Structure 1
Amino acid sequence: MHRRRPTVVYVHGNGNKVRSGLLKSQWDQALFGRDMADTSRMAYWAALQYAHPLPDFQVDALDGGPVIEGESAAAAASGMFDPPEEFVARTVGEAWRETGAPGLEGRTPEGPHDVAVEGALVGWLREMTYLAETLGEAETGGGTARTGDGGALPLEVLPLPRPLRTAAFRELVRRTFKDVHAYFFGGRGPAIRQVVEEALPPPADGPLVVIGHSLGSVAAYEVLREHEREVELLVTVGSPLAITEVQDQLARPPAVPDGVRAWRNVSDLRDLVALGHTLRPEYTPSELITDALVTNNSENHHGISQYLAQSAVREPVDRTFGQLA
């Protein structure tokens, strides 16, 4: 006797979106290549932040779409779509000079150490960009550099003092990601999590797959952590859950939510939202987590359609459906 087909619940990320039904269909097409009807659901929380959805088939710049007039223009003005090394070097420099870089004892805001460390940061980002492109060229089959499923990829996220690593993320959030600020600091978190909770089908409806992008991965994680739902597969893409400053804001210490049987975390090394790329060192039990690096060729390397099209995302979802259908 076959078990019931699983339900897929999507949780979108930052920025305004097209209307809910169309957004769900776009995710279905990117992930499955077809509309999944009532097999998939969208936890659509954009309406809490934006009075009107985007016009049909317009993609918000924060989702990797083109920069246009209006809200997306603010992202362009902030420099979000500069080359990553230019953006991070500039924002780190600004944050350092504004704050004095707490925790960087012995360094002065205008001294030679600034030049040396910022130069090292630029070099690291350029190396990460080249590595991401190299991974893309080398992809075959599963095609990703993986940790947690038999492969090993020694990866130091950034071999520089933590304040420099996180200054870029703080500045990125302050300039462009008002939804992240609203979630953590503006009192919007409970309402967003309620939308996610209401999108989850009753446990009796059968197996569950949850896919969260960007801030949506945080909301999905916190809901599952709180309610301990049985989940066959949790997929997080372009997620900031590895960043210490994000972990500091979580209601509970980092851990795989009880009931989650497998967790696949996918990111592009150039995705500035996912400055940390590995969850296994932070969340236990680590054997349930697989971290995968992919090439996301959207303009900001954070686009959801490009993530969902990756074999590192499609393969575990397809396998879960095949095993449970």
Structure 2
Amino acid sequence: MSGPVTPQLVFVHGVGGLRDTEQQRREWLEALADGARRAGHSDVISGLTQGWLAETRFANYSDLFTDAEAQGEAAGVSHGPEDTTFLEEFVTALVDELGHQAQESDDKRASAIVEDARAQLPGVDDEQEQGAGESFRILGRALTSLLQVPGLRRSAQWASGLPLLWHLSQVGRYLGRGRAADGGAALDVRIRERVLRGTDPERPLIVVAHSLGTVVAFEALRDYGGRVPLLMTLGSPLATATAVLHRLVPQPPRTPARVERWLNFWDRDDVVVGRPRIEKWMLPNADGVLPVTERVDSDGLWVHTATKYLRQSDVAGPLVEALKK
């Protein structure tokens, strides 16, 4: 008689620079172990870190963004019209979101900062007079102003708008679906292949995705044939309707067919995340599964990191319980 099947746990990272696969896998596991301890699951700590609770893999696609084009974007000098259009839509959505939050809380200081950032956004007439590079710098300045909102100033890992804008441009590059310069597979195809590489459809697959990785995982799972007991999305831009939702494949967006449960977590001080609307804009799969969104509140700096989310007991608890089934 065969024993229980060890589940697969795949971590899918988001925006940022080059990553060390094994180091990141350890850091995410250590954060999850910390969260599991806080959630009352100290009995599984060794199982997480030593690998007998789940076979854990960190799906690293960061090198795919570090070609010559990406280096130009990092310097703020290489942007086409499609890149600029996406970034303008994304930054405008962030401004609108933070403005709405400021109104809800009657925070006059935050409202004033948001309106200052809004006034810096390029208009239609501006776009006819300036190139993509100048638009990039203008958007960077608007984001720099936006990062002065009190909650973001305490928690954001970006000191100014340009580094944040470069990271956001990775979302646009993924959604751009452009062909490779050498005629090979498009960037988004190669990224999704990294996520599913080595997975075994005969064993349950649990996916924990962060930031841009939530978009990648959502699309990667659409044709996956194995069981997915849990999809967990952290700090996701999927709810950014004007910039992200209508660019997803397939349209209209729906929960991937084999996903049995979808938990989505957001932090109010995470600048990349809009309010939880995913369940309103996502169609259910054939089993009626829709994302369930919960808010977490992190303390200190660098809120938009996967490890911040994984250390939350509300995040780690249901993840560990899914692994133990």
Instruction: Indicate which of 282, 294, 297 corresponds to 2:296.
Output: 294
Match of 2:107 in 1: none
Q: Distance in 2 between matches of 1:2 and 1:256?
A: 31
Secondary structure of 2:171's match? helix
Match of 1:202 in 2: 200
Match of 1:184 in 2: 175
Instruction: Indicate which of 245, 248, 261 corresponds to 1:247.
Output: 245
Secondary structure of 2:227's match? coil
Quote the offset at 1:228 in angstroms: 4.7
> Is the contact made by 2:230 and 2:322 (CA closer than 8 Å) also made in structure 1?
yes
Deviations 1:290-311 (A, max 9, x none): 2010013353421211101112
Match of 1:212 in 2: 209
The 1:26–1:300 alpha-carbon spacing in structure 2 relative to 1, beyond 3 Å, is closer
The 1:217–1:185 alpha-carbon spacing in structure 2 relative to 1, beyond 3 Å, is same
> Is the contact made by 1:240 and 1:276 (CA closer than 8 Å) also made in structure 2?
no
Instruction: Indicate which of 124, 130, 134 corresponds to 1:99.
Output: 124
Secondary structure of 2:278's match? coil
Match of 2:130 in 1: none
Deviations 1:45-92 (A, max 9, x none): 0111237xxxxxxxxxxxxxxxxxxx9999xxxxx9xxx748754442
Q: Distance in 2 between matches of 1:186 and 1:287?
A: 27
Q: Distance in 2 between matches of 1:256 and 1:36?
A: 32
Residue 309, structure 1, aligned to residue 311, structure 2: yes
TM-score by length of 2: 0.62
Match of 1:230 in 2: 227
Quote the offset at 1:100 in angstroms: 7.1
Compute the RMSD of aligned alpha carbons: 3.6
Q: Distance in 1 between matches of 2:319 and 2:224?
A: 22
Q: Distance in 1 between matches of 2:162 and 2:279?
A: 26
Quote the offset at 1:321 in angstroms: 1.8
Structure 1 window deviating more from structure 2 (243-252 vs 33-42): it is 33-42
Number of residue pairs matched? 234
Match of 2:129 in 1: none
Quote the offset at 1:180 in angstroms: 1.4
Match of 1:155 in 2: none
Quote the offset at 1:10 in angstroms: 0.6
Letter in 2 for 1:35: T
Match of 1:7 in 2: 8
Letter in 1 for 2:168: F
The 1:48–1:258 alpha-carbon spacing in structure 2 relative to 1, beyond 3 Å, is same
Q: Distance in 2 between matches of 1:87 and 1:40?
A: 43
> Is the contact made by 2:16 and 2:167 (CA closer than 8 Å) also made in structure 1?
no
Q: Distance in 2 between matches of 1:314 and 1:94?
A: 40
Letter in 2 for 1:283: M
Secondary structure of 2:281's match? coil
Q: Distance in 2 between matches of 1:29 and 1:254?
A: 33
Letter in 2 for 1:271: D
The 1:302–1:308 alpha-carbon spacing in structure 2 relative to 1, beyond 3 Å, is same
Question: Following TM superposition, where does structure 1 have runs of at least 4 consecutive aligned residues deviating by more than 6 angstroms?
Answer: 71-74, 170-173
Quote the offset at 1:225 in angstroms: 1.5
Deviations 1:90-141 (A, max 9, x none): 442222x52379xxxxxxxxxxxxxxxxxxxx9xx77xx59xx9xxxxxxxx
Structure 1 window deviating more from structure 2 (221-230 vs 255-264): it is 221-230
Match of 1:35 in 2: 49
Aligned pairs (5 A) from 1:1-325: 3-33=4-34, 34-37=48-51, 39-50=55-66, 85=110, 88-95=114-121, 97-99=122-124, 129=151, 174-185=165-176, 187=178, 188-199=187-198, 201-204=199-202, 206-244=203-241, 245-252=243-250, 253-285=252-284, 288-297=290-299, 299-322=301-324, 324=325
Q: Distance in 2 between matches of 1:258 and 1:307?
A: 26
Q: Distance in 2 between matches of 1:175 and 1:89?
A: 23
The 1:176–1:90 alpha-carbon spacing in structure 2 relative to 1, beyond 3 Å, is farther
What is the percent sequence identity of the aligned residues?
28
Quote the offset at 1:179 in angstroms: 1.5
The 1:228–1:90 alpha-carbon spacing in structure 2 relative to 1, beyond 3 Å, is farther
TM-score by length of 1: 0.62
Secondary structure of 2:280's match? coil
Q: Distance in 2 between matches of 1:242 and 1:293?
A: 14
Deviations 1:152-199 (A, max 9, x none): xxxxxxxxxxxxxxxxxx999755423212212263212111111215
> Is the contact made by 1:261 and 1:288 (CA closer than 8 Å) also made in structure 2?
no
Structure 1 window deviating more from structure 2 (13-22 vs 291-300): it is 291-300
